[in-house]
Chains A and B, each alone.
Chain A
Amino acid sequence: MTTTTTTPLSGTDRLRTSATSARRTKRRRIRKDLLRSRIAAWTAILVIGAFGMLPVYWLLATALSGPEQTFQFPPKLVPTDITFSNFTALAENDQLIKYLVNSLIVASITAVLSVVVATYMGYSFSKFRYRGRRSLMHLVLASQMFPQALLLVTLYAVFSSFGLLNTYTALVLSFTTFTMPLCVWMLKGIFDTIPDALLEAASIDGASRWRTLHSIVAPLAAPGMIAAGLFAFVRGWNDFIFAVTLADKEKQTLPPGLVSTYIGEFQTAWPELMAASLVVSAPVVVAFMFLQRYLVGGMTAGSVKS
């Protein structure tokens, strides 16, 4: 038979033990809190991610399905009979390729034109003082406050009278009308952050105003200019109502082109439409991937002044 004797803990030991256990409890609580907040963060990320990505997944799933599966009721989350025919059909559709080329031309010119004009306007608003400057700035901003459709009728009449309907010019000018104000204000904000001392230094070194803008200011504002250009490109790429109204089939861009091709009076060719939508969104996605750091930098550059 064995006897176990327990030595009673001294007061100091008791204090140490309780402190250790309190530390452990605290650490456990912290770990638990950390875990909880991590779970909450991941859940939020997953929910938001699903909210953003599920439509894209559904786009892909429909694009890979045949018409019978598309109309299955209740719908199936994962397509069973996968087909690539909706994608191959795109390549064979000359008219869609024409719409794609039109979109590229119009959106690119809109982006370049918006950035060029907005750079000069923004620079002028930011660095020069002249009569009517503030009114002009407000006028530019005010043009953003009206629904675009409001100006459609007027623009249609003006372009019609100048014989510009059904031309790239009509599309580029109308898109630029709506992209320029934001580009101007965006770039003005960026120019505001460039210290006047830098311009004065350039002037002392003998640089003309043009030289200062082109050789000193523009390189510094490049991220903002890229962001503004990207914004203008996307705006031109996505426009529907102006493209459908101001251009005929020969000059129409992708958004009205896709609607014309796939959405009819009686039915919508969903799988083909989804495949086409995926393909045509690719250039914008790629552009964003390459230029996103400029976009984020450019959008926030004007928010803090030196």
Chain B
Amino acid sequence: MTTSGISRRGALRMFGIGALGVAGAGALGACAPSGAGTSSNGGDTKSKNFDFTSWSLNEEAAKPSIEKIIAAWEKDKGSKVRAVSYPYNEYLSQLTLKLGGGGTTGAVHLDIAWLAAVAQMGKLADLSSVALKGGYTNVALDSGMYDGKQYGLPWNTGSIGVIANSKLLEKAGIKKHPTTIEEFEDSLRELKGLGGGVVPYAAATKVAQLKDIFPWMQTFGCTLLEDSKVTIGDDASIDAVTWYKKLHDEKLIAADVDRFDARALFGQGKAAFYDDAIIGKGVTAAQSKDKTLADAMQPMKRPVLRSGDTPQALLWGGVIAIVKGKGQDAATEFALHTTSDRATTTEYFASRALPPSTTAGLADPKVAQDTFTTEWTEKITDTATGSPFWQFAQNAQIEEAVAKQVQAVLVGKSKPKDAMKKAAEEVTDLIRR
């Protein structure tokens, strides 16, 4: 019979062999000949056929309208577009892996928050000259830029802002949207007075969504990042977190709320304000029993610290980028058509309520007559900016690091000053990696 006990020498040998095994496997991967899947940079750029990768092709609400765009393109050009999709939460990691391995070609749908990380891989084509033909708005064009180059053609440009429930405001006797932090706090207290379990502001308090704190930090004057130096930890960021904690302690915001909870609360008429993207209106109204809720939803300028300050909002949207190599030319043409053709973009708006990114598209009666969209654009998107952390591949970790510290403050485990100091240190470390 064999004894299977492992001696110290055996364990060391095992680790050695394991390390060798992993190194060997790595070497095998590195030495693997480039097969069919790794030909993106050497493929035929003139090919009429290409891939279109988008997470939306998985989603019930978006899939039919995108498939319609693809089908119309294929019919018109006599080409074949292969639809590729990954779940949204896995999209960036899957795309990065496959782009790195040459398995992704053609047109690629990207969240604007991911553009910088993907562009840094050096696989995307510069679309600066093509973008001039699209008639895009300046805000939209900016959302597709990285390091001075246009890597993405803006498909939908919106923002994440505050949505108000006019019915609840009216019930609380609030005649107009609050414009300053002070007015906002007063409104929240009046709303709390309504009772009935109303959470005046369903602000994000769970780590997963606490990145919503950034626009509030900016409202208090923190720039987040300046000349590659993290400014979280300055007085403004501490003031913002102290204020957030005050709202939490006064029960003007609730504990353990993420975007899904906020929509649920708002949908049941138990929250008067919450943060969401423009598309949130459709999602929240659809899951509410109150069929008049959609009419009561109003975009609101984020309150400012001092009257005259610029309201803060986070830019939000999607772009189509092009991978250099196989099918590049046709994919570029497709991206330009999809993002700027007036009929295509307005039809897409009609089915998904996602505002177009071109001046002509926004001016189209179908879009312009939608009060919510036009008000949203004027009140929120016009002053929205991208996060300075999007340029880093570690953006998700950066957001999480700050979110964890803010949550520590909310639950009383840390003081705002200490928490922001720690957050700054962690973010600085992440940026340096």
Interface residues of A (CB under 8 A from B): 67-68, 71-73, 125-127, 134-135, 137-139, 141-143, 145-146, 150-158, 160-163, 165, 185, 188-189, 192, 196, 244-245, 248-249, 256, 259-261, 263-269, 305
Is the beta-carbon distance between A163 and B2 smaller than 8 angstroms?
no
Is the beta-carbon distance between B28 and A260 smaller than 8 angstroms?
no
Knowing A146-B18, A244-B90, A264-B58, the reply to whether A160 touches B2 (Cβ < 8 A) is no
Between A and B, 5 residue pairs with Cβ closer than 8 Å are A125-B2, A146-B18, A163-B35, A244-B86, A269-B60
Residues of A with C-beta under 8 A to B28: 154, 158
Is the beta-carbon distance between A138 and B4 smaller than 8 angstroms?
no
Is the beta-carbon distance between A165 and B103 smaller than 8 angstroms?
yes
Residues of B with C-beta under 8 A to A142: 14-15, 17-18, 21
What is the CB-to-nearest-CB distance from B224 to chain A, in angstroms, rounded to a whole number?
Answer: 24
Knowing A73-B270, A192-B4, the reply to whether A157 touches B10 (Cβ < 8 A) is no
- Residues 273-292 of B, flagged 1 when their CB comes within 8 A of A and 0 if not, give 00001011001000111000
Residues of A with C-beta under 8 A to B47: none
Knowing A163-B36, A265-B59, the reply to whether A152 touches B4 (Cβ < 8 A) is no
Is the beta-carbon distance between B55 and A265 smaller than 8 angstroms?
yes
Residues of B with C-beta under 8 A to A134: 10, 13
Residues of B with C-beta under 8 A to A192: 1-2, 4
Interface size on B, as a range, is 35 or more
Stretch in contact with the other chain, from B184-192, B259-267, B330-338, B359-367: B259-267
B86 nearest CB neighbor, chain A only: A244
B27 nearest CB neighbor, chain A only: A154
Is the beta-carbon distance between B30 and A157 smaller than 8 angstroms?
yes
What is the CB-to-nearest-CB distance from A174 to chain B, in angstroms, rounded to a whole number?
Answer: 12
Partner of A157, one of B17, B32, B260: B32
Residues of B with C-beta under 8 A to A141: 14
What is the CB-to-nearest-CB distance from B195 to chain A, in angstroms, rounded to a whole number?
Answer: 15
Residues of A with C-beta under 8 A to B38: 160-161
Knowing A73-B261, A158-B32, the reply to whether A135 touches B17 (Cβ < 8 A) is yes
- Taking A163-B35, A188-B4 as known contacts, 18 extra A-B pairs with beta carbons closer than 8 A to each other, sorted by chain A number, are A126-B2, A138-B17, A155-B29, A157-B101, A160-B35, A160-B36, A160-B37, A160-B102, A160-B103, A161-B34, A161-B35, A163-B36, A192-B2, A245-B94, A259-B87, A259-B90, A263-B87, A305-B1
What is the CB-to-nearest-CB distance from B268 to chain A, in angstroms, rounded to a whole number?
Answer: 6
B85 within 8 A of A: yes
In the A-B complex, the 10 residue pairs with the closest CB atoms: A142-B18, A161-B32, A154-B29, A138-B14, A157-B29, A160-B37, A71-B264, A264-B59, A265-B88, A161-B35
For chain A, what secondary structure do more than half of its interface residues adopt (helix, strand, loop), or is it mixed? helix
Is the beta-carbon distance between B265 and A264 smaller than 8 angstroms?
no
Is the beta-carbon distance between B87 and A260 smaller than 8 angstroms?
yes
Provide the bound-state CA to CA distance between A126 and B1, in Å.
7
Residues of B with C-beta under 8 A to A189: 4
Residues of B with C-beta under 8 A to A135: 13, 17
B56 within 8 A of A: yes
What is the CB-to-nearest-CB distance from A34 to chain B, in angstroms, rounded to a whole number?
Answer: 43
Residues of B with C-beta under 8 A to A259: 87, 89-90
Max chain A Cβ within 10 angstroms of own Cβ: one of B36, B58, B277: B58
Partner of A139, one of B21, B86, B283: B21
Knowing A67-B287, A256-B87, A261-B58, the reply to whether A139 touches B17 (Cβ < 8 A) is yes
Is the beta-carbon distance between B32 and A264 smaller than 8 angstroms?
no
Knowing A71-B267, A125-B2, A244-B87, the reply to whether A145 touches B18 (Cβ < 8 A) is yes
What is the CB-to-nearest-CB distance from B396 to chain A, in angstroms, rounded to a whole number?
Answer: 15
Is the beta-carbon distance between A266 and B37 smaller than 8 angstroms?
no
Provide the bound-state CA to CA distance between A145 and B289, in Å.
51
Residues of B with C-beta under 8 A to A249: 85
Provide the bound-state CA to CA distance between A153 and B30, in Å.
10
What is the CB-to-nearest-CB distance from B362 to chain A, in angstroms, rounded to a whole number?
Answer: 22
What is the CB-to-nearest-CB distance from B221 to chain A, in angstroms, rounded to a whole number?
Answer: 31
What is the CB-to-nearest-CB distance from A264 to chain B, in angstroms, rounded to a whole number?
Answer: 4
Is the beta-carbon distance between B18 and A160 smaller than 8 angstroms?
no
Knowing A152-B97, A260-B58, the reply to whether A160 touches B32 (Cβ < 8 A) is yes
Residues of B with C-beta under 8 A to A261: 58
B276 nearest CB neighbor, chain A only: A266
Residues of B with C-beta under 8 A to A162: 32, 35
Residues of B with C-beta under 8 A to A143: 18, 21
What is the CB-to-nearest-CB distance from B293 to chain A, in angstroms, rounded to a whole number?
Answer: 12
B25 within 8 A of A: yes
- Residues 59-94 of B, flagged 1 when their CB comes within 8 A of A and 0 if not, give 111000000000000000000000011111110001
Is the beta-carbon distance between A264 and B61 smaller than 8 angstroms?
yes
Residues of A with C-beta under 8 A to B196: none
A188 nearest CB neighbor, chain B only: B4
What is the CB-to-nearest-CB distance from B274 to chain A, in angstroms, rounded to a whole number?
Answer: 12
Residues of A with C-beta under 8 A to B94: 244-245
Is the beta-carbon distance between A150 and B22 smaller than 8 angstroms?
yes
Residues of B with C-beta under 8 A to A157: 29-30, 32, 101
B33 within 8 A of A: yes
Is the beta-carbon distance between B14 and A73 smaller than 8 angstroms?
no
Is the beta-carbon distance between A264 and B88 smaller than 8 angstroms?
yes
Provide the bound-state CA to CA distance between A150 and B14, in Å.
18
Residues of B with C-beta under 8 A to A127: 2
Residues of A with C-beta under 8 A to B193: none
Provide the bound-state CA to CA distance between A67 and B283, in Å.
12
What is the CB-to-nearest-CB distance from B86 to chain A, in angstroms, rounded to a whole number?
Answer: 7
B26 within 8 A of A: yes
Residues of B with C-beta under 8 A to A185: 4
Is the beta-carbon distance between A138 and B86 smaller than 8 angstroms?
no
Provide the bound-state CA to CA distance between A305 and B260, in Å.
55
Is the beta-carbon distance between A266 and B280 smaller than 8 angstroms?
yes
Provide the bound-state CA to CA distance between A137 and B98, in Å.
34
Provide the bound-state CA to CA distance between A175 and B194, in Å.
57
Is the beta-carbon distance between A138 and B264 smaller than 8 angstroms?
no
Provide the bound-state CA to CA distance between A161 and B33, in Å.
6
Max chain A Cβ within 10 angstroms of own Cβ: one of B30, B37, B88: B37
B38 nearest CB neighbor, chain A only: A160
What is the CB-to-nearest-CB distance from B418 to chain A, in angstroms, rounded to a whole number?
Answer: 33
B33 nearest CB neighbor, chain A only: A161
Residues of A with C-beta under 8 A to B55: 265
Partner of B264, one of A73, A160, A248, A305: A73
What is the CB-to-nearest-CB distance from A249 to chain B, in angstroms, rounded to a whole number?
Answer: 7
What is the CB-to-nearest-CB distance from A187 to chain B, in angstroms, rounded to a whole number?
Answer: 12
Residues of B with C-beta under 8 A to A137: 4
Residues of B with C-beta under 8 A to A244: 86-87, 90, 94
Is the beta-carbon distance between B279 and A266 smaller than 8 angstroms?
yes
Is the beta-carbon distance between B37 and A138 smaller than 8 angstroms?
no
